[in-house]
Amino acid sequence: MATEYMELGWIGEKVSRIGLGVWQFSESWGVTEYEDAKKIVEAAFDAGINFFDTAIVYGMGKSEEFLGRAIRELGIRDEVFIATKIPGEMLARDDVFKATQNSLKRLGVDVIDLMQVHWPPCWHNIPTCEYMRALEQLVLQGKIRYIGLSDFPVELVEAARNCLSTTDIVSIQIRYNLVEREAEAELIPYALQNDLAVIPWSPLAKGALTGKYTPENLPEFQDVRAREPLFTRENMEQIYEVVKVLEELSGKYGKTPAQLALRWLLDAYPNTLPIPGAKRPEQARDNAGAMGWSLAHEDWLRIDQVSRRVKISRVTY
Ligand SMILES: NC(=O)c1ccc[n+]([C@@H]2O[C@H](COP(=O)([O-])OP(=O)(O)OC[C@H]3O[C@@H](n4cnc5c(N)ncnc54)[C@H](OP(=O)(O)O)[C@@H]3O)[C@@H](O)[C@H]2O)c1
């Protein structure tokens, strides 16, 4: 399997261009047995993935625990990059230290490679510089190596960076996939100008781009997708126009629609590192197979054009 690496933002550290998101290791998505999680981590690593994204809130710590244990048991700590996230509710100065300490313990590591602020503090009125400087101190103490931001608008990314004096953030994590392209307006150009890595989450639109789901064949989701606007009939009818093109190109490239959807993101910008989630080892392997080849420009443009027509509505009631 051909791995493909990129340098992560300005730090120049080598990471695989496809990562593995492990929110799936939680009740939200349904991988709740450790042995199942371990097989997914192993399959991803064997297929060339060395970047793993978790968060404190995923399964209230379960995802961190499973990921850390799998990495330890597989003996691959020195070869992987572990990214986790601290939620917007835990950003008071003392909480940043406490939460990081708990994360280190759950992951079973001495240092976290990338600590991301999961989302800005929305309702506790914590000043931006309070948590950014606490994170900076954690870098100086050697508890975390790098800082990233997730789900921040550009204005707040700028404000957060201005709080730091001895380091800078290395990445922004954003909702970005073929049918949700809002980040192209401001966030991605900003990241390119400032040498920051872009980590697209839900890069497969939560499975809507894989070809498994059609407007006529939509399960009653029992997981986090039960209330996901992407899966309304109105939105799925539009998304399916993109899926049809991916399916058509599947034969030409010998790749699955999921691989084509991920490859499109990789070819769109040089600094993207999508982190598809996988519920089974085969999915992790399939997603890793988006690395090591490229779309012909005319095919990239064809997907681009059909995807530009999609206008997802999040008004569901
Ligand atoms: N920063 C944030 O706020 C934020 C928010 C959301 C997610 N994330 C991160 O991003 C990661 C990925 O996002 P996501 O899980 O929301 O969505 P996603 O990666 O777009 O979709 C994942 C789902 O698609 C299906 N799938 C995956 N690979 C497949 C393949 N090759 N073929 C067919 N189906 C496949 C699986 O579900 P089924 O098999 O059941 O269809 C899987 O659970 C998460 O694990 C998490 O680490 C971050």
Q: What is the pLDDT of residues 112-154, one digit of tens each?
A: 999 999 999 999 999 999 999 999 999 999 999 999 999 999 9
Q: Which domain holds residue 116?
A: 5-205+269-293
Residue 283 lies in a domain: yes
Residue 44 lies in a domain: yes
Residue 156 lies in a domain: yes
Residue 223 lies in a domain: no
Residue 251 lies in a domain: no
Task: Report the CATH number at residue 126.
Answer: 3.20.20.100
pLDDT at residue 141 in the model: 98
Q: Separation of 163 CA from ligand 1 center, angstroms? A: 32
pLDDT at residue 12 in the model: 87
pLDDT per position as a tens digit, 57-70 = 999 999 999 999 99
Task: Give the pairing type, strands 144-150 and 169-175.
Answer: parallel
For 233-240, the CB contacts below 8 A with 24+ separation are 234/313, 235/179, 235/312, 235/313, 236/208, 238/179, 238/309, 238/310, 238/311, 238/312, 239/179, 239/205, 239/208, 239/209, 239/310, 239/312, 240/214, 240/215
Residue 253 lies in a domain: no
pLDDT per position as a tens digit, 267-287 = 999 999 999 999 999 999 999
**What is the helix (H) or strand (E) element at residue 35, kind and residue range?**
helix 34-46
Residue 9 lies in a domain: yes
Residue 117 lies in a domain: yes
Conformational region of residue 151, where left means phi above 0, alpha means psi within -120 to 50, and beta covers everything else: left
Split at pLDDT 50, 70, 90, the class of 225 is very high
> Distance between alpha carbon 75 and the CA centroid of its chain, in Å?
24
Ligand 1 pocket list (CB less than 6 A): 21-24, 29, 53, 118, 150-151, 173, 201-207, 210, 212, 258, 275-279, 283, 286-287
* Distance of alpha carbon 259 from alpha carbon 264, whole angstroms: 9
| Closest C-alpha to ligand 1, atom 27 | 278
Q: Sheet with 197-201: list strands edge to edge.
A: 20-21, 51-53, 81-86, 112-117, 144-150, 169-175, 197-201
- 177 contacts 268 by C-beta, under 8 angstroms: no
Ligand 1 pocket check: which of 18, 20, 22, 23 to mutate, most ligand atoms within 8 Å of Cβ?
23
Query: What's the rounded mean pLDDT across residues 17-45?
Result: 98
Q: Separation of 101 CA from ligand 1 center, angstroms? A: 27
- 8 contacts 49 by C-beta, under 8 angstroms: no
Count of domains forming the chain: 1
Share of the chain above pLDDT 70, in %: 100
- Which sequence positions are flagged as catalytic? 58
pLDDT at residue 17 in the model: 98
Ligand 1 pocket check: which of 53, 202, 285 to mutate, most ligand atoms within 8 Å of Cβ?
202
